[in-house]
A = this chain, B = another copy of it.
């Protein structure tokens, strides 16, 4: 049974959940597929090409919402779904952020979003800028969220916010009381609510420039 391109992507995604991006090596991936590392280079030009394919696969699971709602509600739903797709795999946001893939799923979803915004009355430049502004926020948010999350695989580290707070010296805590409080608050705040907050700010701001 020879290995197909899709088998490699599937195995890479599984390995991602186990060990994160840092644990994903060509040699380990080959091992999981019971082939030798150089064989992977017949299917992919290099590791980056594999990561591009993985980023695309992340978006394959994205389900776009129905059209019958105002553009702002629709956009909110798309952003929420984008975050969900990124979070479906460990380090998903980091994998996606490291790529610039012009692959089918990325193109399909981008195209759809631009079309919806143009239908709402935005010109092309406004639609494109809106798309990217939203993407930057969701990616940045989710990278940090996944960095401070216990990995799905089970054991592992991730940035421990409580530990970060404890490592602050007494001098630092006294000198920067607001910052010290920030770390504590961040550890206890609800991620979904934080996400909604930023998203709502962005969408409220967009309402100022997008008609209809």
Contacts and interface: CB of A to CB of B under 8 A. Distances in A.
Contact of A133 (B100, B180, B182, B201): B201
A26 to B, nearest CB: 16
A177 B127 CA distance: 14
Contacts of A135: 140
B128 A186 contact: yes
A166 B179 CA distance: 47
A45 to B, nearest CB: 13
Interface of A: 97, 100, 102, 104, 106-108, 110-111, 114-115, 118, 124-125, 127-133, 135-137, 139-141, 143-144, 147-148, 159, 164-165, 167-168, 172, 175-183, 185-186, 189, 194, 197-198, 200-206, 208-209
